[in-house]
């Protein structure tokens, strides 16, 4: 409790620039935690959606059944993937030719890539926050040290009672920067791992869909 009061006292006693740095770090922390919680929930929901669609696709034997599954899951990631792939496969059926399998695979790869690119949105914010926060903290520290040395110059004294408050005020921004950067880096790695798992699930779904369509097209 005493430490908490001392920190709060240092924040209140800091100058305008130091307070701006601390407010910036607080804003970054709120943004990072908001992105992390929302993305984590969404990844969990979408993983369940992909698994549910995959179970249905395993039982499908023709393009009409795939289209029915896509309609049933309209508005979801696997539903979008299915609808795009089925529509493209229907155009392949009309075109014909020996390049159907290659064209189908290229379309599937492009669709998966576009979905993953969309899912990566806001992840760079976490990565950038993890990199920028320590630098903001360091800026606040250097600013505070300059203030501390100016105070020494004004008072013509370098004893501990003169130096300590300025140093503590300077170092609090470094502490705040690390308190934002470390969780942001951990959050980024967790979400990136979840994204890679989603990519794996989408590719498995793509393989099942591709097998069904190729059997129907006879390629």
**Would you place residue 219 in the very low, low, confident or very high pLDDT band (cuts 50, 70, 90)?**
low
The answer as to whether 159 is a domain residue is yes
Burial 184-199 (b: 16+ CB within 10 A, else e): bbebbeebeebbeebe
The answer as to whether 3 is a domain residue is no
The answer as to whether 149 is a domain residue is yes
Give tens-digit pLDDT for 198-211. Answer: 999 999 999 999 88
The answer as to whether 133 is a domain residue is yes
The answer as to whether 23 is a domain residue is yes
127 contact partners, CB below 8 Å, separation of at least 6: 184, 185, 188
Q: How many folded domains does the chain comprise?
A: 1
Top pLDDT among 98 and 137 is at: 137
Does residue 8 carry a pLDDT above 90?
no
- The number of beta carbons lying within 10 Å of the beta carbon of residue 167 is 14
Nearest to 24 by CA among 146, 137, 122, 171: 137
Q: How far apart are CA 64 and CA 107, in angstroms?
A: 19
Half-sphere exposure at residue 121, Cβ-oriented, CA atoms within 13 angstroms: 6
The answer as to whether 54 is a domain residue is yes
> Three-class SS of residue 98?
coil
For the record, the structure tokens of 205 come out as 């779904």
Mean pLDDT computed over 42-56: 94
Does residue 2 carry a pLDDT above 50?
no
The answer as to whether 160 is a domain residue is yes
pTM over 0.85: no
The answer as to whether 1 is a domain residue is no
What interhelical angle do 16-57 and 63-72 show, nearest 10? 140
Segments forming the whole domain that contains residue 39: 9-214
């Amino acid at each position: 409790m005493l430490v908490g009061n001392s920190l709060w006292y240092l924040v209140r006693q800091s100058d305008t620039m130091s307070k701006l740095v601390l407010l910036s770090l607080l804003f970054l922390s709120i943004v990072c935690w908001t992105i992390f919680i929302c993305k984590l929930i969404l990844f969990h929901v979408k993983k369940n959606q992909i698994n549910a669609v995959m179970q249905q696709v395993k039982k499908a034997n023709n393009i009409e059944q795939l289209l029915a599954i896509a309609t049933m899951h309209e508005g979801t990631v696997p539903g979008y993937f299915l609808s795009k792939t089925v529509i493209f496969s229907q155009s392949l059926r009309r075109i014909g030719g020996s390049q159907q399998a290659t064209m189908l695979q290229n379309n599937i790869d492009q669709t998966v890539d576009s979905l993953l690119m969309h899912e990566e949105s806001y992840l760079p914010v976490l990565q950038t926050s993890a990199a920028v926060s320590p630098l903001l903290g360091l800026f606040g520290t250097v600013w505070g040290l300059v203030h501390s040395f100016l105070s020494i110059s004004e008072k013509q004294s370098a004893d501990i009672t003169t130096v300590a408050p300025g140093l503590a005020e300077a170092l609090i921004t470094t502490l705040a920067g690390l308190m934002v950067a470390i969780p942001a880096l951990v959050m980024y790695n967790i979400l990136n791992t979840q994204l890679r798992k989603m990519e794996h699930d989408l590719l498995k779904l793509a393989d099942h869909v591709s097998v069904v369509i190729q059997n129907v097209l006879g390629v």
